[in-house]
Amino acid sequence: MSSILAVDLGGSALKACLFGPEGDVHGQASVPLSFDEDPTGRSEQDPDVWWQALVRCASEIAETSATAFDDVAAVAICGLTRTQVFLGARRQVLRPAIGFRDTRALGPAREALASPSVASHPAADHLNAFHPMSRLLWLKHNEPEAWAATRLVLDPKDYLNLRLTGHARSDRISQHWLLMSLRGGSPSLAEVAGIDRDVLPEIGTPHDAVGEVLPDLPGPLARLAGARVFCGSNDTWTGVAGLGALHPGRAYCISGSSEVFGLISTRPADAAGLITIAWGEDTWQIGGPGQNGANALTYFTDLLNPGDGPFSDRLAALLARSTSKRPLLFHPYLHGERTPFWDSDLRGSFFGLTAAHGPGDMIRAVMEGVAFVNRTVLERAETAGGDRATEIRIAGGGGRSAVWNQIRADILGRPVLAAPDRQMGLQGCLAIARVGLGLDPDIGTAGDTIATDFDRFDPNPVARARYDALFDVFQDSHEAVATTSHRLADIGRSCFASPARTSAQSQGVASA
């Protein structure tokens, strides 16, 4: 049978895998990526970088797996979310894409919410620095020429699909927030906030066909001409599908550079700071994307044990030096936080640090801090939705650490099932293509069909009791962390607001 090219466009890399329809792997490739960021809160990336990365991955796979590559029947791409690509009337890129960590839209979001008509609108509950509507407002006010020329806003995977097929299409899961803002009734949130045009493409499901691969593409992509390209979805939904976790009563954690955590429920529910989105028929996600995860672990590992050795070895060496029994608490907000606090000004902090603590103790506290945020999300989701998670399925780089998986199981009080040797975004793309090709009736069935073996981590009752006590302190100390963070952020903004710095920054942003 024909093969399937799956592509996962993430914040740190574009990964591709050539699958047989049953999940056997014919070839793999990966290209590292990074965002252009600075202290102003800017986080941007040229969309052409993604395209060139796709061409490179395709070239590598075509070279090592020529026969299977020439037999590709379908392409499915998933991608990072909360990232906007702005296109003009001729489908040309107008400016760098605004990335998921970009916080410059905080001011426009606050200004919009100062209007009673915006604040009272039912779609305004999650209007913040990371909301795509806030990004449109920021563009309109700060780059009016770019906004005036904008006719289409796509997610990153939609942009790659457009380059492959010549057609623009997206899915209702990836575009949930802009759909709610632009097409969510009359008057829409966009109308009352001052956005006067609909910039979304045609919307469908992840397994809808966007079109066929064009014949005149560069390099080996031309050999894919005629293959069907399916719409795909954001990396979170796709990873959960690949995990086989799209079933009520299961929770998921996609632990990449940042974390996404949620509970799959049979009903929608309102929970403070959490996002509820329909993820299928009678299936709802209650949770959302964080801003911190393995990126915090990488930061401290590189800081405390720098070197050229493999990351896993340097991390293991630090954990071996974790000897203090004294409690140490870390609030893991190195990049602000999205779910469940939606506060770009939150900052990281250690509580209880003493001279008895060493580098390994700090690393363990970082792992625990991220897991405490997971537990905050899980408890709010369970309380609101009425469903209790029987297990947590985890994937991504953070799910490859047995130590961290055990910490999560102990803190969450549920079994953690990890798939350390599989890329779940790619697995989910395979599931999407199987549904699109008619091999499976729905995405849940496809996920179960290709589900891999899991490593299981059960909670340790003794560790669980200690973590219950630490979690109480973690929750009780949040207000102090938030208050201090806001005061520090205000001081920081005043430093960057000097006339000379403001002028330089404006020039830098304008030329980006």
Residue 421's pLDDT band (cuts 50, 70, 90): low
- Type and span of the H or E element at 503: helix 499-511
pLDDT of residue 505: 38
pLDDT of residue 65: 93
| Pairing relationship of beta strands 329-331 and 283-289 according to DSSP bridges | unpaired
Mean predicted confidence (pLDDT) in 224-240: 95
Residue 240 pLDDT > 50, yes or no? yes
All structural domains of the chain:
3-233 (3.30.420.40), 243-419+454-512 (3.30.420.40)
pLDDT (tens digit per residue) in 58-73: 999 999 999 999 999 9
Higher per-residue confidence, 253 vs 492: 253
Q: SS3 helix, strand, coil % of the chain, rounded to 5?
A: 45, 20, 35
- Cα separation, 248 vs 265, in Å, equals 5
- Nearest 5°: phi and psi at 60? -65, -45
Residue 371's pLDDT band (cuts 50, 70, 90): very high
Mean predicted confidence (pLDDT) in 111-127: 93
Mean predicted confidence (pLDDT) in 11-15: 92
- Cα separation, 31 vs 29, in Å, equals 7
pLDDT of residue 145: 98
Residue 229 pLDDT > 90, yes or no? yes
Instruction: Give me the residues paired with residue 229 across strands.
Output: 75, 211
Residue 502's pLDDT band (cuts 50, 70, 90): very low
Residue 408 pLDDT > 80, yes or no? yes
pLDDT of residue 501: 40
Instruction: Give me the residues paired with residue 87 across strands.
Output: 93, 152
Residue 508 pLDDT > 60, yes or no? no
Counting residues of the chain whose pLDDT is more than 90, the rounded percentage is 79
Mean predicted confidence (pLDDT) in 92-116: 95
**Orientation of helix 402-412 relative to helix 359-385, angle to 10°:** 40
pLDDT (tens digit per residue) in 176-202: 999 999 998 889 999 999 998 999 999
Residue 503 pLDDT > 50, yes or no? no
pLDDT (tens digit per residue) in 310-358: 999 999 999 998 888 899 999 999 999 999 999 989 999 999 999 999 9
**Could you count the other beta carbons within 10 Å of the beta carbon of residue 240?**
30
Of the candidates 199, 205, 227, the residue with the CA atom closest to the CA atom of residue 136: 199
3-state secondary structure of 368: helix
pLDDT of residue 265: 93
Of the candidates 377, 367, 462, the residue with the CA atom closest to the CA atom of residue 407: 367
Residue 390 contacts residue 274 (beta carbons within 8 Å): no
Average pLDDT, the chain: 92
**Highest mean pLDDT of the ranges 184-193, 280-289, 373-382:** 373-382
pLDDT of residue 512: 28
Mean predicted confidence (pLDDT) in 409-426: 90
Is the N-terminal amide bond of 268 cis, ω within 30° of 0?
Answer: no
Residue 154's pLDDT band (cuts 50, 70, 90): very high
pLDDT of residue 79: 94
pTM for the structure as a whole: 0.81
